[in-house]
Amino acid sequence: MATKKIGSAGRFGPRYGTRTRKIVTAMEKKTKKKLMCPYCERPALKRVAAGIWNCKKCNVKFAGGAYFPKFVKGE
């Protein structure tokens, strides 16, 4: 059950402390939103699994970064 203050980290209940749960919530918000694709430069990038990213617009799939896409130009 998610709470207003903690959000998705409410599933942990009173465990792990407030600060840790707030960090998890912030990280999950960034991970789950659509990010900019480095190929077509549109906000259509979604996380498929840990380190695997897929663009819904240009249909490119690449690996890099477990929670946030890491992309080096020229690859």
Q: Residue by residue, what is the 3-state secondary structure of 14-33? A: CCCCHHHHHHHHHHHHHHHC
- Find out whether 6 and 25 touch, Cβ atoms under 8 Å: yes
DSSP bridge partners of 3: 7
CATH 1.20.120.1200 assigned to domain 34-75? The reply is no
Where are the CATH 2.20.25.30 domain residues in the chain?
34-75
- Find out whether 9 and 28 touch, Cβ atoms under 8 Å: yes
Structure tokens at 58: 């240009």
pLDDT tens digits, 35-49:
889 889 899 998 899
Whole-model pTM? 0.70
pLDDT tens digits, 48-66:
998 899 999 999 999 988 8
- Find out whether 45 and 69 touch, Cβ atoms under 8 Å: yes
